[in-house]
């Protein structure tokens, strides 16, 4: 199992969510975060004063899947999040030790996303 964590632009999330849903990956989390990349700050000018914002708002997307599904998730994110401009974001893939569905107490890969025999 792996958790795919992506820092993306807000506009990229909805098309990614739609693709993942249609591909059979409806289960994910997002949070609104602030971060910085290589460019560090962006300086804006307001009434003669220059203000540097070191943090930019991003969406943090987390989606945990079987190892064999990682590339599908990464490809969907790349497809919609890449504009070619700086600040498009980053994707990290992290190992996940275990998963539990709290309602049933089940564990393992079957709990991650939709499976044919499930009631989803
Ligand atoms: N190494 C990192 N660790 C944690 N978060 C990161 C890391 N790199 C980027 N991020 C997150 O991703 C967001 C977008 O990063 P960004 O796309 O600007 O990366 P970059 O390396 O500067 O690439 P680019 O040159 O394309 O802008 C950051 O604001 C931050 O939230
Ligand atoms: Mg950057």
Ligand at shortest distance from the CA of 54: 1
In the structure encoding, which two tokens stand for residue 25, read together?
């990956």
- Looking at residue 42, what is its pLDDT? 80
Structural domains counted in the chain: 1
Task: Flag whether 71 is in a domain.
Answer: yes
Task: Flag whether 45 is in a domain.
Answer: no
Task: Flag whether 67 is in a domain.
Answer: yes
Task: Flag whether 44 is in a domain.
Answer: no
Question: Cα(99) to centroid of ligand 1, in Å?
Answer: 28
Where residue 101 sits, what CATH number does that domain have? 3.30.70.120
Domain that holds residue 61: 2-39+51-111
Tokens 């460019």 correspond to what residue?
39
Q: What is the mean pLDDT of each run of 10 residues along the chain (120 residues)?
A: 98 98 97 92 86 92 98 98 96 98 96 71
Task: Flag whether 12 is in a domain.
Answer: yes
Task: Flag whether 57 is in a domain.
Answer: yes
- Looking at residue 52, what is its pLDDT? 85
Contact 72, 91 (CB under 8 A): no
Residues with C-beta less than 6 Å from any ligand 1 atom: 7, 33, 35-39, 56, 58, 86-90
Give the DSSP letter of residue 111.
G
């Amino acid at each position: 199992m792996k958790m795919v964590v992506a820092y993306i632009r807000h506009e990229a999330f909805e098309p990614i969510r739609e693709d993942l849903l249609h591909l059979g990956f409806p289960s994910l989390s997002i949070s609104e975060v602030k971060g910085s990349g290589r460019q560090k700050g962006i300086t804006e000018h307001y009434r003669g004063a220059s203000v540097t914002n070191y943090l930019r708002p991003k969406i943090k997307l987390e989606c945990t899947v079987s190892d064999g599904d990682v590339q599908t998730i990464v490809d969907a994110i790349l497809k919609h999040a890449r504009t070619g401009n700086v600040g498009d974001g980053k994707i990290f893939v992290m190992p996940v030790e275990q998963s539990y569905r709290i309602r049933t107490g089940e564990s393992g890969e079957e709990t991650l996303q939709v499976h044919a025999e499930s009631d989803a």
